Structure 1
Amino acid sequence: MCKEYFSQLNQLLKKGGTVIFEGFAFQTSGIPENESRSRGTQNREMLFSEEEIRAAFQEFDFQEFHEGEIELDEGKFHKGKGWVIRFVAEKNH
């Protein structure tokens, strides 16, 4: 599902267009079981890895890229520690 959207972004954005992204990553290790954690979705299609993000956005230059643990406070189901991928990238073709 998300990969289809990524493909559409590649087609729709002109050279110089910018993507700002944040999504939950597969990585959840490093967060102790006794700590509050936010895993985001349980739908594996909505979880991301650095490799698949970089492959999906090959036509983009990454200005910022971060994968790591953050503290979330975004409502009932997004509260606690979570592992995310965040990036800002500009289309170069």
Structure 2
Amino acid sequence: MDLYKWALKLGPAVPGELLLDAFALAREIRTVDMQASPYDVSSYGLDPIAIETTEGKAEYVRRQRAFAEASQALRARLVAVCDAVLVGTELAPV
């Protein structure tokens, strides 16, 4: 979620593709958070993640680790944008 927030705050300096990639990851993370919540989200077509069980907790942790791994590439791209803005150069196509 933070990557999307900062990509949005950086406005026109961020390429649209990076902004959309950050939004897609934030949406996936939020979806898993909703699945792990105590609320019934089945009307949205989502299966619950029962984090109170050993299997559910393991599933939640596995997904969070996958999100952390997926965010590394986005974070590097966002840092490159920040570096380019601070130096005042144009960003090379990614």
Does TM, normalized by the shorter one, top 0.5?
no
Which structure has the higher relative contact order (CA within 8 Å, separation 6+)?
Answer: 1
Q: Give the alignment's TM-score, normalised by structure 1.
A: 0.27
Larger-gyration structure (1/2): 2
Give 1 or 2: higher strand fraction.
1
